[in-house]
Amino acid sequence: MYICMENRDLYRYEVHSLIKAFYPREEVKVLVEGDPHGEKILRENPDIAMRLAFAPEGITLTLAREDRTFFKQAAPGTDDAVKGPACKEDVKHLLYDSLREVTGQDLPWGDLIGIRPTKIATAALQEGLSDEETVQRMMEEHRCSKEKAELSVGIAKREREILDSLHHGDDGYSLYIGIPFCPTTCLYCSFPSFNLDLWKDRTGEYLDCLEREMEAGAKIMAGKHLDTVYIGGGTPTSLSAKELDRLLGGIERHFDLSELTEFTVEAGRPDSITKDKLEALAAHQVTRISVNPQTMNEKTLRVIGRAHTVQQTVDAFQLARSLGFSNINMDIILGLPGEGEEEVRHTLEEVRKLHPDSLTVHSLAIKRASRLRRIIDEKGYPVLLNTKEMMDLAADAAAEMGMVPYYLYRQKNMSGNFENTGFAVPGKYGIYNIAIIEECQSILALGAGSISKRALPGEGGRGLRLERCDNAKEVDVYMANLDEMIRRKQALWGAAPDAPLTE
């Protein structure tokens, strides 16, 4: 489906995202007249589905397939031919209202395309609006459903209570360490992940680099308050028990953990969890782990490239409980290949039997870097869709286990235009998850593919803004250029560039 922006290149990302949300099964391309690449495609493909024209007095949308034209008039004193908040709002409203009319669809999140809708609710509540007024604003200004607006308000209020315990801004920080190795790569995955079999002889070398980066990072963050530690991946428990002990010991040597409110290790894949690894985590006072099945249906596990069985998930979870872990999260994904309501219901029934302390419900996002995206593009694999009924099943199951929603985020190309929601028993919330989504403090991130973020005062002293620096995604590139990775962090936090990287 080709979309032509006739006379302005304005808000191309927003235009693409909204149209794709209404037409998830179609490949959407936004072209601009006057752009050489766009002009070539326009000459070769005269069948343009939609045209957008920007003018000071308003924006016009022409739908060729329906032979209809819609117009959004600019508000008095605004100019819809110039980039700015008014133009952005008008183009989103025009697209959403018009496509809703011609397709008969209501998107759960309306015209919102950002990943943090709770920020809108938080801002409104901080202005002094009531819960009801905030819900009404989200429905009117962003076309959100009442259900999603109420969900945002509830989570925003709960997040504020949880985040009160953290050190905000650049005074406090969380530590993220990435272990980019996995037993196999899942079909849907786009995270930095490398087959363990190809790297098993070099994991010690990777840990050497992490140790150096930890030493340098601790010097950079000296005097700041460390609130949470999160070890993710990849699959951290793809490391051996001895290697985990070494990694966790390095964290204890280099960082002051006296104010820590949470220490999470994403155990993740059940086939990577053993008793000696869990004992290593417990010995180093890890407080929260994940045992992530994604689905409890054997057939789907094979399809998505998970090399474990449902029984291995059950065994790993029960083993962790027997060793004293009292805060265990489980992840599931809705919208997986071949799964409908019956399969989702079965997964939730099996999860309820284990009764985890938190449940993170993901709506499948078909990411460009995943094998699933390539299969869809190359072999015509059908686009997968999540449904409201599946989301409701998951929310009901979480409620039956005494959980409440405590954080939420969205992703581009998310199945069914839904969201990822974390549910937890009160007191067992994933604090790092909230901190990273709400962008309330700095994140020191170590390891291949990780991104550090420094929280600084916003313009005019209002709010916070984040400055970032990233580590190389490829493990060998990260290790070969470790000094550069460290220098980037020194520059981000203003540490002396000539400071010694190691003793």
What one-character-per-residue DSSP string does 396-413 give?
HHHHHTT-EEEEEE--TT
> For residues 272 and 237, is the Cβ–Cβ distance under 8 A?
yes
Could you state, in chain order, the average pLDDT of each consecutive group of 10 residues for the chain (503 residues)? 91 94 88 80 80 96 94 96 96 97 95 92 95 97 97 96 90 96 68 73 96 97 97 93 98 97 92 96 97 93 84 96 97 88 96 98 69 53 72 97 96 82 96 93 96 92 89 96 97 72 42
Q: Per the domain annotation, does 496 fall within a domain?
A: no
User: Would 110 be classed as within a structural domain?
Assistant: no
Three-state DSSP class for residue 62: strand
**Is residue 399 in a domain?**
yes
CB 232 within 8 A of CB 176: yes
* Angstrom distance (rounded) from CA 267 to CA 309: 16
- Give per-residue burial for 72-104: e unless 16+ CB within 10 Å, then b: bebeeebbbbeeeeebebbbbbbbbebbbeeee
Which of 444, 499, 480, 446 lies closest to 173 in space, CA to CA? 444
In a domain? residue 199: yes
The token pair that represents 443 in the structure block: 């994140």
Domain hosting residue 218, numbered range: 176-445+455-466
Handedness of CA 248, 249, 253, 256 (dihedral sign): positive
Total count of residues recorded for the chain:
503
State how far Cα 148 lies from the chain centre.
Answer: 18
Cα(93)–Cα(115) distance, integer angstroms: 18
198 plus 222 within the same structural domain: yes
Phi and psi based region of residue 163 (left: phi greater than 0; alpha: psi -120 to 50; beta: remaining): alpha
Do 284 and 351 share a domain, yes or no? yes
Picking from 454, 490, 467, the residue whose alpha carbon sits closest to that of residue 171 is 454
Structurally, the chain folds into a number of domains equal to 3
Check if the beta carbon of residue 110 is closer than 8 Å to that of residue 144. yes
- Statement to judge: residues 243 and 343 lie in one domain: yes
Residue type, position 70, single letter: F
Q: Which two tokens stand for residue 456?
A: 């600084």
Q: What is the pLDDT of residue 374?
A: 58
Cα-based torsion angle of the residue sequence 299, 303, 308, 310 in order, rounded to the nearest 10 degrees: -30
Q: How far is CA 384 from CA 6, 333, 414, 459, in A?
A: 32, 12, 10, 42
- Helices 146-163 & 131-142 angle (0-180, nearest 10): 130
- Asked whether residue 284 falls in the same domain as residue 341, the answer is yes
Q: Which residues pair with 467 in a beta bridge?
A: 454
Q: How far is CA 86 from CA 78, 90, 92, 119, 501, in A?
A: 7, 6, 10, 20, 49
Q: Is residue 494 part of a domain?
A: no
Domain boundary among 135, 163, 191: 163
> How many beta carbons lie within 10 A of that of residue 458, not counting itself?
11
> Is the residue at 450 inside a domain?
no
Task: Provide CB contacts within 8 A for 211, sequence distance 6+.
Answer: 250
Specify the pLDDT at position 375: 54
- Determine, yes or no, domain membership for 484: no
Tokens of residue 125, six digits: 């509540």
CA 198 to chain centre: 27
Domain check: are 137 and 224 in the same one?
Answer: no
Q: Does residue 222 sit in the same domain as residue 354?
A: yes
What's the whole-model pTM score? 0.89
CA-based nearest residue to 212, from 503, 434, 502, 419: 502
Q: What per-residue confidence (pLDDT) applies to 500?
A: 47
For 268, the enclosing helix (H) or strand (E) is strand 262-268
Q: Could you tell me if 159 and 236 lie in one domain?
A: no
Pair type for strands 2-5 and 29-32: parallel
User: How remote is the C-alpha of 109 from its chain's centroid?
Assistant: 16
Would 53 be classed as within a structural domain?
A: yes
Report DSSP letters for 174-189, one per residue.
EEEEEE-EESS--TT-
The encoded tokens of residue 428 equal 């067992």
Under 8 Å between Cβ of 150 and 141: no
- On whether both 157 and 181 belong to a single domain, the answer is no
Q: Are 216 and 162 in contact (CB under 8 A)?
A: no
Read off the tokens for 478.
């990260």
The dihedral built from the CA positions of residue 418, 420, 424 and 429, taken in this order, carries a sign that is: negative
3-state SS, residue 170: strand
Q: Are residues 99 and 126 in the same domain?
A: no
Nearest Cα to 109, choosing from 145, 71, 67?
145
